[in-house]
Amino acid sequence: MAGASGFLGTRLVDRLRQSGHDITRLVRRPTQRPDEATWDPAQGRLDLSVLAGADAVINLAGANIGDHRWTARYKRVLRDSRLNTTGTIARALTQLPEADRPRTLLQSSATGWYGETGEQAVTEDASAGSTFLADLCRVWEAAARPAEDAGVRVVLLRTAPAIDAGGSLIKPLLLPFKMGAGARIGGGQQWMAWVALADWLNAAEFLLEREDVAGPVNIVAPNPVRNIDFTKAFARTLNRPALLAVPGPALDLVLGELAGEAQRSQRILPGVLSGAGFAWAYPTIEGALSAALRPDHATVT
């Protein structure tokens, strides 16, 4: 697994090990544990023996989308961190003899692929949007194509923001909402794609084992919500008011180009997962927020 030290990666390692899988974590430093292997994706270096004989490769690597303003320099970081890792893995898979080649590659992507969808509900067959993030997802997914051409089952994980107290969507909002300063973004009518962390983990394991599923898969809840409804549900879960609004121009001033993603409408549905019979533990935003923010109310999955 690449990206095993990230927010989703650390939790997926734990989940898969609990299920009996053996995980080798790809790291960019000298190894410190027997379950680690060193690689250098910036230079395209990955020892083929690390992959040989594995059943699957999982690539979740990539610089965090929301950590910095999208300067020209940071856009290059976002792009290079994805293309270097994905390209290195895909090329390595093509170089292995077929008998030693892993059968599956779970490859990270994002719902940013779709750009602005407005009121239209979209599934995996929709074309890429015209935003920076959509273009990033397009070239990111394309970097995995050599593995697919070599006969590897490639599953493209178009992931929505995960609902969890430590996640990139909820964590920065938690203190303002607890203080009663929760606010919708602009008019609040834009649609939001989301997924409970438990369901993301369930879906990743489901896709690892379902050898009949390949290509893009939207890892999203079946019920996208408008921003205003997300805001109200968040506030209700914490028993706090949410009467404020953040004007779009103010968000632009603080976040720059990244603010456009926060205001974008994405009404995205999980067509492939639904068709494959996947069952969501948290299909509604109220249930997901209760599990994330009031763990005593969480259900066992």
Burial 258-292 (b: 16+ CB within 10 A, else e): bbbbbbbbbbbbbbbbeeeebebbbeebbbbbbbb
Find the mean pLDDT for residues 243-268: 70
Find the mean pLDDT for residues 154-166: 96
Residue 169 lies in a domain: yes
- Domain of residue 292: give its range: 7-297
Q: List pLDDT tens digits, range 266-286.
A: 999 999 999 999 999 999 999
Find the mean pLDDT for residues 179-190: 89
Residue 2 lies in a domain: no
249: pLDDT confidence band, cut at 50, 70 and 90? low
- The CATH number assigned to the domain holding 212 equals 3.40.50.720
The answer to whether residue 194 scores a pLDDT higher than 60 is yes
Structure tokens given for 283: 């299909």
Domain count along the chain: 1
Q: Are 221 and 274 in contact (CB under 8 A)?
A: no
Q: List pLDDT tens digits, range 111-133.
A: 999 999 999 999 999 999 999 99
pLDDT value at residue 297: 47
Alpha-carbon span 159 to 132, nearest angstrom: 17
The answer to whether residue 69 scores a pLDDT higher than 50 is yes
Residue 99 lies in a domain: yes
152: pLDDT confidence band, cut at 50, 70 and 90? very high
Give percent above pLDDT 90 in the chain. 80
Please state which of the ranges 95-99, 167-171, 207-211 shows the lowest mean pLDDT.
Answer: 167-171
The answer to whether residue 264 scores a pLDDT higher than 50 is yes
pLDDT value at residue 68: 80
Nearest Cα to 117, choosing from 131, 98, 100?
131
Nearest Cα to 271, choosing from 123, 126, 127, 155?
123
Read off the pTM.
0.94
Residue 1 lies in a domain: no
Question: What single letter denotes the amino acid at residue 206?
Answer: F
